[in-house]
Amino acid sequence: MGIYNLDRVFHPESVAVIGATEKENSVGNALMTNLKNGQFSGEIVPINPKHKKVSGIKTLSSIKQSSDPIDLAIIATPISTVPDIIDDCITAGTGGAVIISAGGKETGEQGRSIEKKIQKKAYDGGLRLIGPNCLGIINTKEGLNASFASDMPSEGKLAFVSQSGAICTSILDLSFKEKIGFSHFVSIGSMVDVDFGDMIDYLGNDSQTKSILLYIENLTQIRKFMSAARAVSRIKPIVVLKAGRSEAGAQAASSHTGALAGEDAVYDTAFKRAGIIRVNTIAQLFDCAELMAKKPPPNGSRLAIITNGGGPGVMATDALGGHGLKPAALSSELTRSLDEVLPRYWSRNNPVDILGDATRERFMKTFDICYESKSFDAILAIMVPQALTDPEPVAKALAESAQDKNFPVFASWIGGQKMEKAVNVLNHAKIPTYETPERAVQSFVFMVEYNQNLKMLTQITPKLSHGLHYDPDKAQKLIHNHIKKHSGLLSETASKEILSAYGIPVNTTKSASTEEDAVVAAEEIGFPVAVKLMSPDISHKTDARGVHLNLHSKDAVRTAFQKIMEGAEAYNPDAHIQGVSVQQYIDTPDHELLIGAKNDPSFGPVIVFGLGGIFTEILEDRALGLPPLNRLLARRMMETTRAYKLLQGFRNRPRADMEALEELLMRVSQLVSDFPQIVELDMNPVIVKDGRPRAVDARIRLEDTSQSATLHLVISPYPDEYEFHEKTDDDRSIFIRPVKPEDAPLLQKLFQELSPTSIYHRFFSAMKEISPDMLARFTQIDYDREIALTALNDDPEKREMFGIARVISDPDGKTGEFSVLIGDPWHGHGIGARLLGRVLQIAKKQGIEKVRGTVLRENRKMIAFGKSLGFHARPDADLGEMELEINLKEAEFSFLDQKPTTAQ
């Protein structure tokens, strides 16, 4: 189900409490009290689930017969009674339900069975559910406290969603002390229906919510979660505390890749890809909450530290250094300004140590100078108890000065009793306060990380210097033939054949089952060669003395074969020995890398990159990535490793061809995206010689699966099935395909060709250029929620963009909004009709029923164009605009399958 019914859950006009009884201390009556105390203005209806008539309490049957459906039902009855209550709610037309009841899957198989019944009934009936086993929900704007929390938080712009009711109550209690307000407070429970993806989508569209905090124990429907988070994190910070960081759940695997890709590391990778900030403790979660609730995130990492104590300033500096940052440098002009108000012995550096005898006036003059200098992205004010300084007046002055500044100012008033009144002043003034400089800096760093993630999400992806070509048919045949015999580990020769089909460079390799076969293979390849053990039962060949390198003669090959057989027998007498692989030997490589992939049970294929060779697991220098990868994502993966610096060239080591390595990672990404049967791929080492990479050792493990390609990914890949070669009305060949991140330069050129009128009609404002943020937004497509096609000329060597069209799906998956842009030189050629027609055709196929778009009333050509495709036009609330809408259930696009008439 989509989130389309969540408005009735969080903005109800009527709430029924199912579980209200004549007993004063019942759960239902406690919920009734909380609703009333929260000053909910709508109707509150107590319901006795046992159909008993009690004064002032209605029965379920009376609700079913009511002509006014209840928007929200709060169910607080034994879990065994809930399935029948769900039936009654559906019959009564209830919008949604919050199930407080515990006793579901957390109790075992019987509880799990009940939850499945609840889930099916709600899904079939279109009823949205939160819970079961949850604390409830709070919407402060509506005065809605549909929860067990007896106290209502103050209104704010921060939303908190948690799987744990205990974490909810803890954060809520802390918020009263620190004067933190919330827009929504949601205990999501067992998530039989509404999950984190739904809540991110809902809160992303909620105007009252400016930032989102999540406490996660596990995720369901991860692809939906990733899609929602990637969309919302661009406009609102998302911070998550994910429990379960230990490696206890990581499974042992047969290769280096499998041993490295532990579950929690994959969560880290997924959160980064989605633009989410991850914190590690409840304290960090709350500290971030305080900063986000009270101040805007910083625009950069330039931090000013003002302190009346040298030691705490050093602590703050060390804390920054631990994250690879340092205090912003003071300009000579700023230093001169500070010289005028500070004693001659001040630090003359950042941290700005204004000395222990600092007065209120000195503190505030320093603060004002630093703020007015525009040299910083945030200011941290530190105060320690000093005999000559009263902290409360300083706090009041800081509060007054920061009140009208939309700028990150936060404080660490270090101490206990002497600081208590001053801290209260700062909290009331919405200035974040921290007990230690380290905690203050950590929160600042998290927000800097969010800003950096945002910039990375909007970076333009460069194109490769050449196209990528694959042979999926050959790979499919090889994989099918192997699985038909048995699943499991492929031989090195077979593994390299599959890699070669996807253009991944490998060294020449031949299989040999006998000593003489090995000699013949060596002669065919040419000396020197390497000879390696082939056995599906011995994962690490070096452990069994199964690798012999740099062999220059037939006798050396014979000796190596014999030693390999002896070593394998001694290492594992029961192992199945297939023979050896004989390979081209590459001497004195510049670098050895590990590149591979492993199928994670939750996240699907995960790409691994790092230092290779026999010390891979000891050095633990690796990065993970989720497919699909492009050049930018591949480069970012490598940049997070120590190996990256070596690859830039170090001492006598030459620089690697970084584009070739990016391409290799992209090819691996495409391979594991196309074939869900690949559960493990290990290339170790990948030799870099004269700059170029080549896999000299490779293994692939296969398992049969009924899952179709791309559905095993948590990020929607490029949909190549939506590529079309077509003709325009004047018989011009065009290529219509989905938009790619690499299209940004083409879109920029298209924009430059637009007339001022075309720009105004499309963007509703005058624009001289398209910003990098807009370029990224228009070309980095989440194909799960957006259909975006571009029309290009049909020459792959000299691409030119003629136009672009898209439909962005609403969260309900049933409606969407369209836009279309055609370059001025290409008006009147039928390109717009074929381009938007294809987009609408795909939208209809994906289940979207209605598509709308807003057009300026003066844009008569666009209105006429829309009508020609089947859109209906009607005036919008804005007198200068028209809304075009099409019912896709009734629309036909047969003209797309007809050959266009050649223009005369």
Tens-place pLDDT, residues 685-741? 999 999 999 999 999 999 998 888 888 999 999 998 999 999 888 888 999 999 998
Residue 10 has pLDDT above 70, yes or no: yes
Per the omega criterion (within 30 degrees of 0), is the bond before 589 cis?
no
Which residues, at least 6 apart from 517, have a Cβ–Cβ distance to it below 8 Å? 511, 579
Average pLDDT over residues 36-60: 73
Residue 15's nearest CA partner among 136, 102, 192 is 136
Q: Whose structure tokens read 């029309």? A: 791
For residues 459-486, b (16+ Cβ closer than 10 Å) or e, as one string? bbbbbeeeeeeeeeeebbebbeebeeee
C-alpha span between 838 and 893 (Å, rounded): 8
Nearest-5° Cα angle at 497, 269 to 740? 45
pLDDT tens for 157-175 read 999 999 988 889 888 988 8
Would you state the pLDDT for residue 767? 83
Taking the CB of residue 427, how many other CB atoms lie within 10 A of it?
Answer: 20
* C-alpha–C-alpha distance, residues 789 and 740, integer Å: 9
Closest CA to 578 of 534, 617, 545: 534
pLDDT at 388 > cutoff 80 = no
Query: Are 565 and 579 a contacting pair, CB within 8 Å?
Result: no
Q: Using the predicted structure, report yes or no on whether residue 345 has a pLDDT greater than 60.
A: yes
d(CA 863, CA 858): 9
Q: What is the pLDDT of residues 410-433, one digit of tens each?
A: 999 998 888 899 999 999 998 999
This prediction's pTM: 0.86
Asked whether residue 613 carries a pLDDT value surpassing 90, the answer given is no
Residues 6+ apart with CB under 8 A from 558: 515, 518, 519
Which residues does 760 contact at the CB level (< 8 Å), separation at least 6? Answer: 766, 856
The count of residues in the chain is 904
- Mean per-residue pLDDT of the chain: 88
Q: What is the mean pLDDT of residues 542-547?
A: 91
Is the separation of the CB atoms in 352 and 307 below 8 Å? yes
The packing angle between helices 831-845 and 860-869, to 10°, is: 50
Question: Is residue 52 exposed (0-12), middle (13-18) or buried (19+ Cβ within 10 Å)?
Answer: exposed
Binning pLDDT at 50, 70 and 90, where does residue 59 land? low
Question: Would you put residue 378 in left (φ > 0), alpha (ψ -120 to 50) or beta?
Answer: beta
Whole-angstrom distance, CA of residue 185 vs CA of residue 707 = 37
Residue with tokens 């910039």: 455
Closest CA to 485 of 536, 540, 546: 536
Helices (H) and strands (E) in the chain, counts: 30, 36
261, pLDDT greater than 50: no
Would residue 244 be called left, alpha or beta, if left means φ above 0 and alpha means ψ between -120 and 50 degrees? left
CA angle 183, 187, 188 (to 5 degrees): 115
Res. 26: pLDDT tops 90: no
Counting residues of the chain whose pLDDT is more than 70, the rounded percentage is: 93
Phi and psi at residue 92, to the nearest 5°: -80, -5
Place of tokens 């169910």: 75
Report DSSP state, residue 126. Answer: T
Treating both helix axes as pointing N-terminal to C-terminal, what angle do 391-402 and 420-428 enclose, rounded to 10 degrees? 10
In this predicted model, what pLDDT tens digit does every residue of 561-572 receive, in sequence order? 999 999 999 999
Q: Residue 310 — left, alpha, or beta (φ > 0 → left; ψ -120 to 50 → alpha)?
A: alpha
Percent of the chain with pLDDT over 90: 60
For residue 801, the cross-strand partners are 792
Distances (CA, A) of 670 to 66, 480, 603, 782: 56, 18, 16, 17
| Closest to 596 measured CA to CA, from 263, 268, 245, 259 | 259
Task: Inform me whether the pLDDT recorded for 176 exceeds 60.
Answer: yes
CB atoms within 10 A of CB 85: 23
CA distances from 221 to 225, 226, 246, 407 (A): 6, 9, 22, 37
Q: 699 and 682 in contact (C-beta within 8 Å)?
A: yes
pLDDT band of residue 667 (cuts 50, 70, 90) is very high
User: Any idea which of 57-66, 255-264, 339-348 has the lowest mean pLDDT?
Assistant: 255-264
The average pLDDT across 553-559 equals 96
Q: Which residue has the tokens 């081209």?
A: 584
